[in-house]
C-alpha cells in the first residue's frame, strides 16, 4: 500500500467518523427536543396556520406611521 492509499484511507476514516458523530448529535438533539416539550399541542393544519399570519393583517395608516417612527426614531 502506497503513501497515497494510506492518506486516502485516513481521510475516508476521518470523514466517516465525522459523519457518524454528526448523526449522533442530530439524534441526541432530536431526543432532547421531544423531551423538552411534551405537553405542547400538535401544530395545526396549513389552513389554520395561514389565518394566523401577521403579515396578512391590514394596519391603519396611523399604525404604519407609528411603527415607522419607532423603527427610525423620527
Q: How far apart are CA 43 and CA 38, in angstroms?
A: 13
What global pTM score does this model have?
Answer: 0.37
Q: Which pLDDT tens digit goes with each residue over 23-46?
A: 888 888 877 666 655 555 565 555
For 21-58, b/e burial (b = at least 16 CB within 10 A) is eeeeeeeeeeeeeeeeeeeeeeeeeeeeeeeeeeeeee
Q: Which pLDDT tens digit goes with each residue over 54-65?
A: 666 778 889 889
Number of H helices, E strands in the chain: 3, 0
Q: How far apart are CA 55 and CA 24, in angstroms?
A: 38
Amino acid at each position: 500500500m502506497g503513501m497515497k492509499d494510506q492518506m486516502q484511507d485516513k481521510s475516508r476514516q476521518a470523514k466517516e467518523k465525522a459523519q457518524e458523530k454528526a448523526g449522533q448529535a442530530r439524534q441526541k438533539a432530536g431526543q432532547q427536543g421531544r423531551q423538552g416539550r411534551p405537553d405542547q399541542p400538535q401544530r395545526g393544519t396549513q389552513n389554520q396556520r395561514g389565518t394566523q399570519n401577521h403579515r396578512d393583517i391590514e394596519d391603519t395608516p396611523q399604525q404604519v406611521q407609528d411603527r415607522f417612527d419607532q423603527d427610525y426614531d423620527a
